[in-house]
Chains A and B, each alone.
Chain A
């Protein structure tokens, strides 16, 4: 059922540069289980959109099916949303993006939605470098169908049901890096400090930006044998580094020590300042990123933060060379060749 938040607005709420208050980015009241990681991600999305800031109605939020895919109802009430079918958000997002390149596309999916039924659509959206922020709310299980193992569940991990998962797990980030995604990051729903800037950078990245967010399912996959529980993730998390996201208009005020930081300028001029934690990471090297992910995995650690970033990446529209005018705004006069042209066409068939 739908629960609408009361529309009372406190007069003293801070506004962002566009004049919106944080509440303008909120959605309906969540119906997910209390403590579900997905709700924290929704909040981070609200925060990121408020902080960037984006115009709420210029965002399009899309999802597949699952507890995770319900969340677009719980943020950005002023945005159009599209809750599609299981595993098929990327194709809907592709079509929507083709129709209007001027909006911001935010796709939300689950690990079942992405790594199983939707794997085909996921990897092809990556290949096409669709201008889409793709958030996977990854809890290692199928929440909505009551806790079955998903394809991202680590081998040997146990859900509440108890039996260890016998199969190899899929690392969505490694896959995305291999397939040429220009922005690949991993976050944790319990670390808002890191997640909000990740989302901000992802939303401004041109081309596909994948954020795999580990998001514990408190109801089915938060027990002691699970590698996707709050406790386990907190104990094994390792970040590539902390970073500041500096939007185009702002000035870099803090100066960092040479070598300890890496500044990556994004296509719109925004800068990501990365303060390195893990041995000299260069986030713009695909090879290094993959090595590092594997190395951390061998150590049983979960690497988070920006894993790979290609600031030069192009999106599908650039690849296809489509007009800068959104296709849905072209007029009949621009689209229809008219009667005279049809007469010439007829002549070629005589």
Chain B
């Protein structure tokens, strides 16, 4: 019988029923491997449901540090009767199938290329524990115990993790440790040496963290000094505001009075949620909202107002699979165009594309500075994969000497000192950004009437076509200023000779990097450009001009970033080739390689011409 034999390079899948407490056991597994110094990538593939439907948790173990999801399951832990046969069939040949043998394996399960590990989890659990609620949870811990034995996971790491988790409930810690032991002993007695997969500890600096993107966004908002959040619950953005509230309750309580230095309003809908954020920002507090696709659609009108009336606001869009309600618990990068141009009229918005939690934190902080500097909405484009899964990433860091950039705001003294009449929309510096004032600043100076109707430099209503046009042109000038202020795309040159480039962003990055390594091993050199923001800086043009073929790798059906590049950068469409994944599961390196290979074989779109260096 074939057996996969691997050290630190495989995928373990847990097939559970949602609402049975499997998440904490499965997270424990990932945590233990991470703590052994081995890079790990957990992906929770869960239903849009609260209880009773199938849910999967995949953990990729990659000693060489590839952090994208990988297809192909080496070991499945099957504890969901509903999907048992499917789970059985999906294991790779030579792989391992651990199931709860309290119930017999169905007759259809007759593969001869699988190594079956039958452990009577329910039986073992019921023999040891009586509390029915506890039984459900501890059954999960029993399989973790078995895995510890089968994969050679450090026992001390696991017990320490459990003791840490239940530090405040020693009794629970004890039963968990007991369950762990039961699984371990059973596997040792019945399946010693049965599994060819192993975890071997790796040296690490101990610096990196395992964090979800939504917590990082929330921390970014805390560190940036956001005080007001308006929101409406929607998966997968909900945990951003929940985490914000948790951290705010820890770090933002006035010591003397117990009063809160923040206000979180669960609004009646997303229109109100962003209205609240805009109203607060207008009045000088840092404010934000978080949502996902359906909410973004509802926020469009207000985003247009904030663009035109020039009000800072931070919006965190944790994207999910659309269209419409789509697949609410699956991931995609499919709000790119909607976010870039949300609202009617000539409107466009600054977008930021974090690719891991560290960047979620940094970009959240940057978003508040940028929004206030540019007096415009800034939308952080995260997604479900980034937001809700844990990612191995660099620790968050903060420089205590860093000061918030509150942008061009005049206080009473500055208003007094002005030599000429102040105008809210007067571009005195020539960068398209004007000076604003907060309400209540000065008894007789600095008041103005904010409006979404066409206005002159003094914020007075006008239908004068020349003045209207002047305002719109100034906004275009401000957009040019934005280009210089947003984070630049990150170019990595793998080969100075190659004519092939790849552009990607956000959660596509890890898979893209892995794919490019795989292709490099086959002799195909590809240079990389990771986009971090829209508007695109000059480096994007330089990169595209330098290469004859540029793959744009992203997770949506219509190649939205490619469209944005063509529309905004004026690049020859034939040169930009889409590589796409849009099934809702995080993109894999194999998907990218499979799509790039045939494209490499196709004729050169530019014929023999040299890469053009001309300005578009």
A interface residues with partner B (beta carbon < 8 Å): 1-2, 28, 55-58, 60, 62, 72-73, 77-85, 88, 90-100, 102-103, 120-121, 123-124, 128, 316-317, 320-325, 327-328, 330, 332, 334-339, 341-343, 345-346, 349-350
Contacts and interface: CB of A to CB of B under 8 A. Distances in A.
Given A60-B283, A80-B450, A320 B271 contact: no
B398 A79 contact: no
A55 B460 CA distance: 23
B449 A100 contact: no
B279 A99 contact: yes
A257 to B, nearest CB: 43
Given A320-B260, A328-B284, A338 B398 contact: yes
A335 B450 contact: no
14 contacts: A92-B279, A95-B280, A98-B228, A316-B265, A321-B260, A322-B261, A324-B257, A328-B285, A337-B251, A339-B397, A339-B400, A342-B398, A345-B396, A349-B211
10 closest residue pairs by CB, A with B? A95-B279, A91-B275, A99-B285, A2-B460, A80-B439, A95-B280, A99-B283, A328-B284, A335-B225, A92-B279
A77 B447 contact: yes
Most buried by A among B274, B276, B302: B276
Given A57-B443, A60-B283, A94-B230, 10 more contacts: A85-B301, A88-B301, A90-B275, A91-B275, A95-B276, A95-B277, A95-B281, A323-B261, A327-B227, A339-B398
Contacts of B261: 322-323, 325, 327, 330, 334-335
A81 B210 contact: no
A79 B305 CA distance: 20
Contact of B283 (A28, A56, A321, A328): A328
B450 A81 contact: yes
A82 B450 contact: yes
Interface in B392-449: 395-400, 403-404, 437-444, 447-449
A80 B440 contact: yes
Contacts of A323: 254, 257, 259-261
- Interface SS majority for chain A: helix
Contacts of B264: 320
Interface string B501-529: 00000000000000000000000000000
Interface in B222-236: 222-225, 227-228, 230
Contacts of A57: 439-444, 447
Contact of B263 (A77, A83, A102, A320): A320
B444 A78 contact: yes
Contacts of A128: 265
Contacts of A338: 398, 400
Nearest to B444: A78
A107 to B, nearest CB: 11
A124 B267 CA distance: 8
A91 B280 CA distance: 10
Contacts of A94: 230, 265, 267, 272, 275-276, 279
Nearest to A343: B395
Contact of A342 (B287, B305, B397, B439): B397
A102 B397 CA distance: 35
Interface residues on chain B, size class: 35 or more
Contacts of A346: 209, 395-396
B461 interface: yes
Contacts of B287: 95, 98-99
Contacts of B230: 91, 94-95
Most buried by A among B251, B260, B272, B301: B272
Contacts of B371: none
B252 to A, nearest CB: 7
Given A79-B447, A82-B450, A120-B269, A330 B439 contact: no
Contacts of A324: 257, 259
Most buried by A among B268, B441, B449: B449
Contacts of A73: 449, 461
Contacts of A124: 267-268, 272
Given A91-B267, A99-B284, A85 B302 contact: yes
A77 B447 CA distance: 7
Contacts of A62: 279
A81 B448 contact: yes
Contacts of B460: 2, 28
A330 B227 contact: yes
A95 B227 contact: no
Given A80-B439, A98-B263, A121-B275, A336 B450 contact: no
Contacts of B254: 323
A79 B445 CA distance: 9
Contact of A322 (B263, B282, B443): B263
Nearest to B450: A82
Given A83-B450, A94-B279, A327 B263 contact: yes
A103 B439 contact: yes
Contacts of A83: 449-453
Nearest to B460: A2
Nearest to B272: A91
Contact of B223 (A56, A60, A92, A336): A336
A226 B389 CA distance: 61
A251 to B, nearest CB: 29
Contacts of B283: 60, 95-96, 99-100, 328
A72 B450 CA distance: 11
B206 interface: yes
A320 B276 CA distance: 15
Nearest to A117: B271
Contact of B268 (A84, A121, A336): A121
Interface in B199-240: 206, 208-211, 215, 219, 222-225, 227-228, 230
B97 interface: no
B276 A337 contact: no
Given A321-B258, A338-B398, A98 B251 contact: no
B278 A322 contact: no
Nearest to A103: B440
Most buried by A among B224, B227, B257, B305: B227
A28 B215 CA distance: 48
Contacts of B301: 85, 88
A93 B279 CA distance: 6
Most buried by A among B215, B252, B456: B252
Nearest to B438: A328
Given A2-B461, A91-B272, A336-B225, A82 B441 contact: no
A80 B280 contact: no
Contact of B275 (A56, A95, A321, A337): A95
